[in-house]
Amino acid sequence: MKLTDFQEAFPDDAACMRFLEETVWANGRHCPDCGCLNTVPLAGKAAARHLYHCRDCHKQFTVTSGTWLHSRKLPLTKYFEILYYSVNSSFGMASTRIAEWTGVSQKSVWKILQAFRELQGFWLTMADKLANTVEFDTKYVGGKPRKAKGETGQKVKNKRGRGTDKQPVFVAAERQGEVRATVVPDESEATIRPLAEAQVDPQAHIMSDGDGAFAKIARSFALHSQCSHRDWDFARDGVHNNTAESFNSWVEHMRDVHFFVSKPHLQRYVNDVMSRWNLRVAVEREVTHRGQRVVRVFMEKMPLLDRLRTIFVHAVGCQVRRDRITGGIAVASCRSCPSY
């Protein structure tokens, strides 16, 4: 979707409010406080503010009441514009860039995006478990550690893969489906097992590389196949973890956009990549392969408005609060979230 088309669709706050109301109240307008459907729109000046009255608890509300978009200081159109740049880009967008284009300060853009990334992680804790074929892998994120000096004073080569000083991220990817990526303190069985069991259906077919910890964890699932990358085996009879590896390359691309990501914020940036990956649909297409017409499945981006709808359906039910002491961001409450 072009920026001009987007601006035409959302010229003012009223248009944004209408879009939110259509999206969030698709199954009927409900009071965010008591959840009842017995509500009426207010007349006069209140109508311009999109205010509604609940006949049960006698409270007034709008579609953003009790959500992260409530009591905002910026116009709603700015939030939409910021999300447009972030969601419409292939590998995310730096807050400094968006600040230049929207005229909002970099600090505000960063805070909005961080709150939004935190929410993305929060919804995934309530999402359906991954099923069918699920690939496990570990991604190590971070720059190359400085070369350490050994006992003899000679430079020691840093380890690659397991045992490196980089930050491990556990990746579970459903083939032609969603992905779950979690920043973990280490890649031991004790750390990864509870995550895998919470995120993946027990009937799933697990595929992984030759990692010993994955082999032990996979015993809790219906089936396990592995290909040993050490023995140069990367794909055999449909057994591979290329989907997870492909997601890992998306995480790697993060470095082209965000030049510095600190460890405490890493999960939020991974959430960003994850939602970009998950907001896609499988599309069947006929292609020519070795002179023959064959049907292949491609993963394509959802149309922008559909992606925004999915985001807002979840976002509008949740509040995000910033912890003044630690500076951390957390989802404070989620009352009217449909999936809650």
Closest approach of Cβ 335 to Zn ion, in Å? 11
Q: 33 or 233: whose CB is closer to Zn ion?
A: 33
Of 86 and 336, which has the nearer Cβ to Zn ion? 336
Least distance to Zn ion, CB of residue 17, Å: 19
Both tokens of 17, joined, read 């409010």
Comparing CB distances to Zn ion, the nearer of 57 and 223 is 57
Helix, strand and coil in the chain, % to nearest 5: 40, 20, 40
**Nearer to Zn ion (CB atom), residue 56 or residue 100:** 56
The site for Zn ion (CB under 5 A) is made up of 31, 33-34, 54, 56-57
Write down the least CB distance from residue 316 to Zn ion, Å. 16
Phi, psi dihedral angles at 132 (to 5 degrees): 60, -125
Distance CA 332, CA 32 (A): 15
In angstroms, what is the minimal distance from the CB of 34 to Zn ion? 3
DSSP letters for 267-279: HHHHHHHHHHHHS
Which residues have a Cβ under 8 Å from the Cβ of 245 and sit 6 or more positions away?
137
Contact of 53 with 42, CB cutoff 8 Å: yes
Least separation, in Å, of the C-beta of 14 and Zn ion?
24
Nearer to Zn ion, 37 or 127 (CB): 37
- In sequence order, which residues have a C-beta less than 8 Å from that of residue 255 and are 6 or more positions away? none
Strand 205-208 with 133-141, pairing: parallel
Rounded distance, CA 116 to CA 110, Å?
A: 10
Q: Give the Cα separation of 290 and 91 in Å (integer).
A: 32
Least distance (Å) between residue 55 CB and Zn ion = 8
Q: How far is CA 205 from CA 136, 209, 222, 281, in A?
A: 11, 14, 6, 21
To the nearest whole angstrom, how small is the minimum distance from the Cβ of residue 52 to Zn ion?
Answer: 10
Of 65 and 182, the one with the shorter C-beta distance to Zn ion is 65
Whether the CB-CB separation of 138 and 211 falls below 8 Å is answered with yes
Query: Is the Cβ of residue 37 or residue 282 nearer to Zn ion in the bound state?
Result: 37
